Structure 1
């Protein structure tokens, strides 16, 4: 048996890929991360709300619930230890009409069943005492919700990986994946105009986000296994031109798998609103489409349900994020899919699909879980 070139390859240098690579390196693996873009975190990881979620929305016992609650704890600890900017500003989940109060109570009960123990139910007057500009019928305060500098987090994870002698190679796209007779993974890797290179690895982690299905289908599995299909969904974000009169994040009631047009604050206290939900066909686009003013008007209408004092013309385009969902529009929200040999029958392969929100919050917990699987 010929020794492989590298012990463990992670495909994808987003937050989850880097978190998995760091956890594997800390566990003693020789790790190489391959990233097709020119910088780390160029897809989902750098175009999110940057929120550390408490774990309110997910079914008890699901991977989303488990990893969100555990990941939140790990993420605050990691930020404190490494100096990554973070703010535990808290969030108000609001019922903007009396008809929504029962759903608000149900969400609070769901969160407690997931292990979120610090929620406080507020009357409209109590919520306005915290945020005088807020309009609502009732609210739930989540004090452990916060925001983090996702770019600094990416850099810190890469730094930890390199400190353990791991490495990240940019501008290298995995094109094909084979499996040798001895079970070694054989990767064909493209880089610019150069001829494809060949690399072998004992272990393989696919954390490719939007490209996960394309890569996953390159591998021969046992009969009956189907690679989850990724369905890209765009979300636009608007920023506020002036300082926001809020200290907490504000979220309306969710609509199925969409959390609504929410107000978030970055580390500097600047406000942004979004994302909306726009399903994509084919290659996703990051171009901000205002739809001749229709999108801005829709945002303003949604925001004024909980902030009626939003000034006219105060929103300006910020950015577009694309989430790698593994369910179609109208289908039930799917859980994270983290597939090992028990799913697909391939030893020493871990493939991750549908790692969207709360993926940032869950990243360190998912990384530890992946390392445990290998």
Structure 2
């Protein structure tokens, strides 16, 4: 008999949501995390935004999972006392030439059944956000902000309340299919290794998922790419009462202003393609931030931005390629019974985590 029924690799927000969903269905679940705390990579290093579902093409997994995931997440926050705020977002056209892109986004959103977007002209924007200088904007009232750490603790609590467990400092080194499921070689914090067997396996390992799946027969794992996103913090009072995003740019959604739950402002992320992960923010990148921000907030004072933090998008599309969709490979894709692998789970992964968990449960 396997050591445990279901193993989940990765205790980020998606892995925890999956573990909780499967535990709620009565499975015996263990979530393995290589670090000494949950959600310390992509899940903890992002904008903490609940996305409305604007940017994703009709028929894509991102569109399919973000819209219901948003509603599920708001309900989960309300039911579990997780700090959040439906603060709303403006996507701004810095000049007249960008207005057609706003219209394209609006039509795309309508095609995915997102129907609450409203176009604001320059006069309306001057009334509600006098510091803004732009030709027009899309107003998204269902965009919000969230305490991502509180969310992950609630997901872990739900998992453990239904008999599941999270095991930290457990790095999966190798996965081998076997007659009754899968055998994992796991390295512990002291460098020792142990073997674990399971009947079902979920690979929700973020950046590490393609590498873990690379040698499994039939897995056809994608190549991984790293897009670093740097954030700079604004010293002083936030100029806006809402989130403000420029029109999207290749690789990301542009240098935008987000507000935390204390309404302190930070700007980012930019897009910096790199080969290795490091969590240092290069202060010299601030120059490009000033130029990008002043395209819609010309009043940004000199020397008001300081380096804050950075994160890494787990990309499966190369620089210059169109953004890849979420990729959730179940047995119907790779032929490996009882295994689901998740790739490219960048934004809107946090927003979609509960819907992703239901999707994975369905793939099993």
For this structure pair, what is the TM-score category when the shorter chain's length is used for normalisation?
A: over 0.9
Q: 1:21 aligns to what?
A: 19
Q: 1:196 aligns to what?
A: 193
Q: 2:208 aligns to what?
A: 211
SS at match of 1:220: coil
Q: 1:170 aligns to what?
A: 168
Q: 2:357 aligns to what?
A: 367
Alpha-carbon distance, 1:58 to partner: 0.7
Alpha-carbon distance, 1:150 to partner: 0.5
Q: Deviations over 1:200-255 (max 9, x none)?
A: 1000000000111111114222xxx5211110110100011111021110000112
**186-195 or 22-31, which moves further after superposition?**
186-195
RMSD over aligned Cα atoms: 1.0
> TM-score, normalization: structure 2?
0.98
Distance in 2 (CA, whole Å) between partners of 1:101 and 1:217 is 43
SS at match of 2:116: coil
Distance in 1 (CA, whole Å) between partners of 2:118 and 2:251 is 23
SS at match of 1:125: helix
Matched, 1:185 2:182: yes
SS at match of 1:75: helix
Alpha-carbon distance, 1:310 to partner: 0.8
Residue number among 44, 47, 50 corresponding to 1:49 in the alignment? 47
Matched, 1:234 2:224: no
Q: 1:280 aligns to what?
A: 274
Q: 1:341 aligns to what?
A: 331
Alpha-carbon distance, 1:194 to partner: 4.3
Alpha-carbon distance, 1:96 to partner: 0.6
Distance in 2 (CA, whole Å) between partners of 1:128 and 1:207 is 44
SS at match of 2:360: helix
Alpha-carbon distance, 1:41 to partner: 0.3
Distance in 2 (CA, whole Å) between partners of 1:285 and 1:194 is 23
Distance in 2 (CA, whole Å) between partners of 1:194 and 1:338 is 31
Q: 1:264 aligns to what?
A: 258
SS at match of 2:303: coil
Residue number among 130, 133, 152 corresponding to 2:131 in the alignment? 133
Report the number of matched residues. Answer: 364
Q: Given that residues 181 and 338 in structure 2 are in contact (C-alpha distance below 8 angstroms), is that contact kept between their aligned partners in structure 1? A: no
TM alignment of 1:106-117, pairs within 5 A: 106-117=104-115
Distance in 2 (CA, whole Å) between partners of 1:115 and 1:107 is 12
Q: Given that residues 237 and 264 in structure 2 are in contact (C-alpha distance below 8 angstroms), is that contact kept between their aligned partners in structure 1? A: yes
Q: 2:322 aligns to what?
A: 332
Distance in 2 (CA, whole Å) between partners of 1:20 and 1:371 is 8
Residue number among 136, 145, 148 corresponding to 2:146 in the alignment? 148
Residue number among 291, 304, 310 corresponding to 1:314 in the alignment? 304
Alpha-carbon distance, 1:258 to partner: 1.7
Q: Deviations over 1:278-317 (max 9, x none)?
A: 1111x31111112xx3x11110110011111111111111
Distance in 1 (CA, whole Å) between partners of 2:211 and 2:251 is 24
SS at match of 2:350: helix
Distance in 2 (CA, whole Å) between partners of 1:322 and 1:186 is 29
